[in-house]
Amino acid sequence: MEHTSTKEVLARLKEAGLQSVPGAGAEILVDSVKQVISPKKISSETWLRIMEEAHSMDIPASATMMYGHVETKKEIAEHFVKIGKLQEKTGGFMAFIPWSFEPNNTLMQKEETVKYAAGGTELLKMIAISRMMYDGLIPHIQSSWLTNGVAMAQMALQYGADDFGGTLLGEEVVSCTGARSTELTAPKIIDAVKQIGYQVEERDNFYNTVKTY
């Protein structure tokens, strides 16, 4: 298997029932940034290539951006543009999900590479920019409550997001930072969305409506 191309792996997975892929691992799609925060992960070019391969086989995906560490505003802009250019070519991204790095209990915080989390204001900026950058291009923007909390996810819906993010049980990454609870059930999500006066739609993986509340 170690000599099998990623395209062949994707083809086999699709044949076995794979219907979509997550957008994790993008971080910031600038290799000088990735070398600092995730040196063992694939390069920016490889991430974009694999996504393009998936899209070419009608396997849709989400795209993510993890900000709030060592990146500059210019590098954030580069990330937005790279995702946008691929989407213009393939149309394969269903959603864009910006989320902030949580430095608590990490080596980067210990070494003072990153002292503080980005905070709520930065999240709202990213959501608003996402909405403007990808208007008519990527159909959905997720507010992602996991790293910013339920209250900020509510605010993000008012700044351009249309997807609150899903239920989660047994999460083992962000929970290690001790920043906040990383479990959220459907009734709590429904209540959080209704609190700000919005109708709630439960969706499937492809953004088809399953039920309204």
pLDDT tens, residue by residue, 28-65: 999 999 999 999 999 999 999 999 999 999 999 999 99
Quote the pTM value.
Answer: 0.89
pLDDT tens, residue by residue, 192-210: 999 999 999 999 999 999 9
CATH number of the domain where residue 74 is located? 3.30.750.200
Lowest-pLDDT range of 11-20, 62-71, 138-147, 176-185: 176-185
Q: Which domain holds residue 58?
A: 19-184
- Structurally, how many domains does the chain consist of? 1
Contact 103/116 with Cβ under 8 angstroms? yes
The residue-averaged pLDDT of 171-188 equals 64
The residue-averaged pLDDT of 2-22 equals 94
Query: Does 136 have pLDDT greater than 90?
Result: yes
Within a domain: 109? yes
Residue with tokens 């951006």: 65
Within a domain: 74? yes
Contact 165/144 with Cβ under 8 angstroms? yes
Query: Does 181 have pLDDT greater than 70?
Result: no
Between 106 and 213, where is the model more confident? 213
The residue-averaged pLDDT of 103-119 equals 80
Within a domain: 210? no
Within a domain: 158? yes
Within a domain: 189? no
Give the confidence band of 169 by pLDDT, cuts at 50, 70, 90: low
The proportion of the chain whose per-residue pLDDT surpasses 90, expressed as a percent, equals 75
Q: Which two tokens stand for residue 202?
A: 């439960």
The residue-averaged pLDDT of 85-98 equals 98
Within a domain: 75? yes
Contact 173/126 with Cβ under 8 angstroms? no
pLDDT tens, residue by residue, 140-150: 999 878 888 89
Instruction: Please report, for residues 155, 182, 193, the alpha-carbon distance to residue 160 in angstroms, rounded to integers and kept in the order given.
Output: 9, 23, 14
Within a domain: 176? yes
Within a domain: 208? no
